[in-house]
Chain A
């Protein structure tokens, strides 16, 4: 006996066992109908559960995609600043995010297929439950003990096979969803750990972004600095304090700061600024400053 027949016999045995429990055949009909309605509810809930999992995976996919985009931006910026080492580190991290993303895409497709299968199963079951209800009413209305048993058994076995089928589909969908949830949880942890993260999202500050920030903060500082120097010559010492303090942290690390100190300014309270001598700072007195910034401020 082959696989097909053996599986069929297992289904049939289950149906017969359920039938044998009932004393009055009419009871069987009502009991079975009740179970059918329960199963319908269950399969619909199954569809909703799978959809929830699918949405979670979708959310993670979006996060990872943003991550990958951000890392590529970082790599581009790093290259623009001549830091190939940083660009490489960012791209390595991007590759890791990308491989997680590919994995999730496969899971997403599986969940989608599972959702469709359950939806179709629920529609099929609904059709059969409706047919069963009609037949149940007919049998009850014209009930004669002699023929009832056979007709009830037929209807019952038919629907019971469908119920077994749908029940199995729900079980398989639940198993798959559970597996995916475990994997989704693992990816959540991975993202939370900062392994795929950048400066904005994670607990751990991303080193690549920090360096990039520091480098661009450096040139910002220089720009601010020359603006303030311009203001000093116009006689606005109050603003100097505020501006210099606000940008002082990043200044010491910036190599670009050297070339831009063409104007004289009193050294700010921080040590860092003072230790980087600018080529022309000392010999140029305030009165020799270019006139352009003053004009702008004055007008």
Chain B
């Protein structure tokens, strides 16, 4: 499975690692929903660490689509919220 960390690049991750990723991702989403900055920061950090530790970076010249995309490490909760909508941060 291919995961992109925005601003950092793409990683190839073994499917076995996805359970932990999904757990952290659920936490992240919950934190965004209840506006909990501390939990948000912890969950995002955990996710990114997990991807970097478990995944191997894809060569830069591949043109593969990612299965999952993660916000950059210094993203604020507000930025992430806007990334979740079509109107948001992602340039068309």
What distance in Å separates the Cβ of B67 from its nearest Cβ neighbour in chain A? 7
What distance in Å separates the Cβ of B6 from its nearest Cβ neighbour in chain A? 5
Are B63's CB and A169's CB within 8 A?
no
Assembled-state Cα–Cα distance A17/B80 (Å)? 22
- Known contacts A7-B69, A168-B6, A171-B91: A155-B29 contact under CB 8 Å: no
- Known contacts A127-B61, A167-B90: A8-B84 contact under CB 8 Å: no
What distance in Å separates the Cβ of A120 from its nearest Cβ neighbour in chain B? 8
Are B62's CB and A131's CB within 8 A?
yes
Are B63's CB and A155's CB within 8 A?
yes
Could you give, for residues 43-81 of chain B, a 1 whenever the CB lies within 8 Å of some chain A CB and a 0 otherwise? 000010000000000001111111111111000000010
- Determine the main DSSP class of B at the interface with A: loop
Could you give, for residues 1-43 of chain A, a 1 whenever the CB lies within 8 Å of some chain B CB and a 0 otherwise? 0111111101111100110000000000000000000000000
What distance in Å separates the Cβ of A151 from its nearest Cβ neighbour in chain B? 10
Report chain A residues within 8 Å CB of B32: 3
Assembled-state Cα–Cα distance A110/B77 (Å)? 19
Report chain B residues within 8 Å CB of A13: 86
Q: Which residue of A lies closest to B79 (CB)?
A: A172
- Known contacts A4-B25, A171-B91: A158-B3 contact under CB 8 Å: no
A210 at the interface (CB under 8 A from B): no
Q: Which of A4, A132, A135 contacts B3 (CB 8 A)?
A: A4
- Known contacts A123-B60, A161-B4, A171-B91: A3-B9 contact under CB 8 Å: no
Q: Which residues of A contact B (CB under 8 A)?
A: 2-8, 10-14, 17-18, 117, 121, 123-124, 127-128, 130-132, 135, 154-155, 157-159, 161-165, 167-169, 171-172
